[in-house]
A and B are shown apart, each in its own frame.
Chain A
């Protein structure tokens, strides 16, 4: 079978599966629509959380980022996994005991204030839309690269699929499709990773193979360091970011991860407090399988790329390793990815030899995403592996998009309509609003997918910064401080959001320069500062105002004790 036929088969087959699950898991009540009825087993919730969390960025882009920036990418690897420790120990069990449907639910009820609720709704919507725009674009790109359709057609197909299972099934449909999507995406990531690892090092596990010794007697990392230095790049294992910057970035990504509404809401779907803790454990195992393979894939990919393009003693045009290979001697994948624009070769010195380096002699422009997308071809793996990668990339993008769209629609129907504007609507009407909001959200996300705002990459810092500086501290203080009151929480959130937004907007959009950064903290790391400011302001303001009413303090006592979570859900 041809590659195209295989790809259609894999992607089409996976779509049929998702739609089948959606029909099986239709939601009949708001409780099913918002939290899947609260009856999801912890292992299934762990898988769904992993798929929810691992987006097109984790699947396609992360290995490429690590591959091209080496050591500095540690902040992403640690930040995007370490946040789960915070979730498991500081947030998930207590929010589960609280037993409502959304993050603004908790913030609004705990701080007995619709102002606090509205701020939380606004943050939730900004964070989720920022995120979802990139996912829809990701679906479109995968379609266009593997199935040769227009990017916009790809976006529209993706919208139709998400529409089907998010609008019909709500959280219930999304949960069980995400379980299936996790299986597809992890298989699609690990099969080529293992092939590649065996090919480069002879070791089976990509986790350990990065340190393995090559035929040359050097480890992969040492080889990579030597190759990089020879070509004028920084050493792979040396970083360029300052310790302070790396510290703040890692912290902002961790706390931001823990404060992302679409991740938090997954822990509302399990039956017991105990299950919330356990499912965080499963989620991180499922995430770690991919994340711990990433450094290997990144390292092998880069060695492969440099050696293919610059040559070994056998393949280089001049017979000297690392000096360039004749264009016609480069394997055929190179030309294929040239067509997509992900790799560009410009023969500056007209010698017909491709050369890649950090110096002026460089003739190659490489898009980072190629590390995952083209890896199976660079490693000359069978066509079915390439088709599998396409299905995996689509699964990663769709599962995250669906989770985000659900959070957006819930915020509108539940937190705005039911809780703030018109508390008298019936369960049926609320469900109708939820489905309507999901449709609108899909259309808006699709619009961004077709007309991507130029700033998608920049605003990712904003999503994590906002989550770290507003949602995360507000929930944390709501659980661990009985004394925290409306005034403190609202003032803290406003200061956190305002300072983080101002810093990011100044440096990302208004041309702020590196020298002006406070202590060299990059915008990606400023969420940590915003979070600290939030804590300080909240503490000071709350200590000057009256303590929360007795019934609120009772709620806090209550959520600290696990027993009764099942009952709490039904009230």
Chain B
């Protein structure tokens, strides 16, 4: 099962890129839409909700769920690519 040092580093690098991509979305949706820009977004109506309020109380949670599953699928592919899956 031992993999070369270069392979291990490349795997870790791609892993970090995946994490950074998804964590950026996580940050923008929760701290961005739900906290920092919430007042601006509230000017927009979204199915009867002010949009900022919706993100802060519901929308962010839906996105969190989607993010974890997207991450699971990306990592499964990455694990197979580098042959480190179980």
Contacts and interface: CB of A to CB of B under 8 A. Distances in A.
Interface in A253-305: 254, 272-274, 277-278, 280-281, 284-285, 288, 291-292, 295
Contacts of B85: 274, 562-563
A89 B84 contact: no
Interface string B18-38: 010011001000110011101
16 contacts: A71-B57, A74-B34, A82-B60, A84-B64, A85-B22, A88-B68, A237-B50, A243-B36, A272-B86, A274-B79, A277-B72, A288-B65, A291-B61, A561-B3, A561-B84, A563-B84
Given A274-B79, A560-B8, A561-B3, A207 B58 contact: yes
Given A219-B48, A284-B68, A564-B1, A237 B79 contact: no
Interface in A71-115: 71, 73-74, 77-78, 81-82, 84-85, 88-90, 93
Interface stretch (A32-40, A138-146, A208-216, A366-374): A208-216
Interface stretch (A244-252, A325-333, A421-429, A461-469): A244-252
Q: Chain A at the B interface: mostly helix, strand, loop or mixed?
A: helix
Nearest to A77: B57
Interface string B51-84: 0011011101110110111011001100100001
Nearest to A42: B72
Given A274-B79, A277-B72, A562-B84, A78 B61 contact: yes
A221 B34 CA distance: 17
Nearest to B16: A480
- Residue from B67, B68, B71, B84 having most chain A Cβ neighbours under 10 A: B68
**Size range of the chain B interface in the assembly:** 35 or more
- Residue from A78, A81, A246, A277 having most chain B Cβ neighbours under 10 A: A78
A346 interface: no
Given A89-B19, A211-B54, A250-B35, 10 more contacts: A71-B56, A77-B61, A78-B34, A82-B64, A85-B23, A88-B71, A250-B31, A250-B34, A292-B62, A560-B15
A566 interface: yes
B50 to A, nearest CB: 6
Contact of B30 (A73, A82, A560): A82
Interface residues of A, number: 52
B8 A274 contact: no
Contacts of B57: 66, 71, 73-74, 77, 295
B24 to A, nearest CB: 12
A557 interface: yes
A211 B53 CA distance: 11
A565 interface: yes
Given A557-B8, A560-B15, A281 B61 contact: no
Contacts of B58: 77, 207, 292, 295
A283 B29 CA distance: 20
A273 B49 contact: no
Contact of B31 (A219, A237, A251, A272): A251
B59 to A, nearest CB: 9
A280 B68 contact: yes
Given A82-B30, A85-B67, A221-B48, A562 B79 contact: yes
A88 to B, nearest CB: 5
Contacts of B72: 88, 274, 277-278, 281
A561 B26 CA distance: 24
Contacts of A78: 30, 34, 56, 60-61
A213 B47 CA distance: 9
The 10 closest A-B pairs by CB, nearest first: A211-B48, A219-B48, A74-B56, A281-B68, A211-B47, A295-B57, A211-B49, A563-B84, A88-B68, A272-B86
Nearest to A208: B47
A369 to B, nearest CB: 20
Nearest to A296: B58
